Structure 1
Amino acid sequence: MKKLFGFIVFAFLISGAACSVADRLDPSAPAPSGSASLDPLGYGEGTMVKLYYSKCYATYTFGTGKFIGYIEVENAAYRKEVVVHYTLGSEWKDIAASYLKSIPGNKEIWYFALDGIGFNPFAGWDVRFAVRYTVNGQTYWDNNNGQDYMTGTGPRNFSAEFAWGKSIVAMQYASYGQNDTEKFFNCRIFTKYAEGDKSVKIVYTEDNWATVKEAQAQYVYDDSDFTGGNKASVWWAYAPLAGTPENVSFAISYTLNGAAAWDNNFGRNYTVSPGTIWE
């Protein structure tokens, strides 16, 4: 779908699918020099299996949506199965998650996605789910302490767009575009709602980390808390670009009461090119 901003058409959509993540980003991409270590996003103690976060959003096909998420598991054996057990309101079904990458601490990140969810665009939709991990003949669950996770989207949905697990910060949207006067990079960020002294910034590069820049994000609003655990704060960052860089790579830093959490796409950073949107 094309979006028109001023005189520029954003002509390409990058979805969050695992193949797109793997194909678009270089796993060996360097972290910003001179910055804090870009640890995997968020806080929280994992066990054998733990949701990082999931999100739902409407796609550009009218009346359809997408449900995606990331899961951390203990790498207890080579053969394993990671499944998301979910319902859209009646029948329970399974989504098989796919291996994404290994991370320190003998952990792995797995990714899942459900495309083409039909819904009433004037009413929204919701999904209830839990994560099941089977390894070495044993089955482990992350079911949000027995409550299940809830997320959804739409104007009258009863769940927040993000379901938080181990993570407390996540990129929702980013684009590289142009208006009448300048080229720019912008980003929309969600953080798990918390009281205290907090700030969000984008650490980015226009030249493959030869130089590093920062853009402070502005607080926008607190998202509605329909389920008691999904409430989020929404932030927006904007940065003009010098010249016409081939792409912009970036990571997100969220500081809460002096402690920093990062969303850096699990150590690989995010990358957007001219005219592209990442959701």
Structure 2
Amino acid sequence: MKKLVYLLISLVIFSCSTEDNFEETPESVLTKSAIPTKNSEPVSLVKAWTASGSYRGYTSYSRKFTVKVADLDFDKSVSIFHEKIDGSWEEIPLSYSFDIDDQNEVWTGAYNHGGYGVSRIYADQFVVKYEVSGNTYWDNNNGTNYSISNNEGYFLADANANVSVDTDYDSLFYVPYYDQNSLNVTVDVRNLAPNKEVGVVYTTDGWQTQGYFTLDFRRYWYNGPSFYIQSPNEFGIERWSGTTRIDKSANNVEYVVVYKVNGQEYWDNNYGKNFTVSK
């Protein structure tokens, strides 16, 4: 429900819709992956997000993390070891999300802190901690630690990852005014050149047919009144989002994202699993 409220606020501020264009599904949509599925390191940060803001005295702070680990044993723990404002360090536990393949897993987690008169708890620096089979592995950004300030949006840690879907802001819901469903997708891309296109390829019938719509660049992004970021950010990451209308009978949509720039295509298909959103 919270995700839907944030998304509706965003749609009021930024509106975008395109018509469906169905055709046969290209084979590349089902097989391309923007991010390698094999990882020679035991643990690596995939991406991290920070945002903060204040509205009528209510202050909010948000951080979230995505980490990839090698599946070295069943019993394991993954966390973010984060510096606090007072100089101490604290663990933010992550939770198992899904298997990439039979060798690697994705773990995710978030920190949210808000209220009237609250202060910032976490500073900029953090590292990733992975404990398994009596061993501890670290991703500390090659000894320099990761550092992301208080209101940056996304940092894509993998230099080869140029596009990433933010599933916290995808949704499918019925709009009575149009008597249709609205499909909404939000994506972050690395700013590789001024001229680019970011689009969504989707299906409602298991890829028997497909639709395509483009996303719009968001110079400013509001995730509700308490969260505000601008793009491109310090790391050269831009936020793109958009919506299209589909038949109201569709209860599930499967989709992937393509980023076209400099004559190249970069895909995020969720490690070959594609993304799914339901009403």
Please report the TM-score for the alignment, with normalisation by the length of structure 1.
0.69
Equivalent-residue separation in structure 2 for 1:119 and 1:46 (angstroms):
45
Query: CA separation of 1:116/1:41 partners in 2, compared to 1, >3 Å: closer, same or farther?
Result: farther
Structure 2: which amino acid aligns with 1:51?
A: L
Equivalent-residue separation in structure 1 for 2:119 and 2:153 (angstroms):
16
1:109 equivalent among 106, 110, 117: 106
RMSD: 3.9
The answer for the alignment partner of 2:153 in structure 1 is 161
Q: 2:231 aligned with 1:223, yes or no?
A: yes
Equivalent-residue separation in structure 1 for 2:269 and 2:93 (angstroms):
24
Say how many residue pairs are matched.
242
The answer for the alignment partner of 1:238 in structure 2 is 243
The answer for the alignment partner of 1:262 in structure 2 is 268
Equivalent-residue separation in structure 1 for 2:176 and 2:51 (angstroms):
26
Structure 1: which amino acid aligns with 2:62?
A: K
Query: Do the aligned residues in 1 keep the contact of 2:258 with 2:265 (CA within 8 Å)?
Result: no
Equivalent-residue separation in structure 2 for 1:5 and 1:100 (angstroms):
26
The answer for the alignment partner of 2:17 in structure 1 is none
Please report the TM-score for the alignment, with normalisation by the length of structure 2.
0.69
Shift of 1:187: 2.0
Shift of 1:245: 1.9
The answer for the alignment partner of 1:82 in structure 2 is 78
Query: Do the aligned residues in 2 keep the contact of 1:202 with 1:252 (CA within 8 Å)?
Result: yes
Equivalent-residue separation in structure 2 for 1:98 and 1:252 (angstroms):
25
Residue pairs, 1:112-127, within 5 angstroms? 112-116=109-113, 127=124
Query: Do the aligned residues in 1 keep the contact of 2:50 with 2:153 (CA within 8 Å)?
Result: yes
Deviates more, 1:261-270 or 1:184-193: 261-270
Query: CA separation of 1:208/1:135 partners in 2, compared to 1, >3 Å: closer, same or farther?
Result: same
Gaps of 5+ in 1: 10-31, 274-279
Q: 2:67 aligned with 1:50, yes or no?
A: no
Query: CA separation of 1:131/1:182 partners in 2, compared to 1, >3 Å: closer, same or farther?
Result: same
Deviates more, 1:116-125 or 1:63-72: 116-125
Structure 1: which amino acid aligns with 2:157?
A: G
**% of aligned pairs identical?**
21
Residue pairs, 1:125-204, within 5 angstroms? 127-151=124-148, 157=151, 160-166=152-158, 167-172=161-166, 173-177=169-173, 178=175, 180-181=177-178, 183=180, 184-195=182-193, 198-204=196-202
Task: Give 3-state SS (helix, strand or coil) of 2:67's partner.
Answer: strand
Shift of 1:235: 1.6
Q: 2:63 aligned with 1:64, yes or no?
A: no
Query: Do the aligned residues in 2 keep the contact of 1:66 with 1:114 (CA within 8 Å)?
Result: yes
2:257 equivalent among 239, 252, 257: 252
Task: Give 3-state SS (helix, strand or coil) of 1:47's partner.
Answer: coil
Gaps of 5+ in 2: 13-24, 220-229
Query: CA separation of 1:123/1:78 partners in 2, compared to 1, >3 Å: closer, same or farther?
Result: closer
Structure 2: which amino acid aligns with 1:52?
A: V
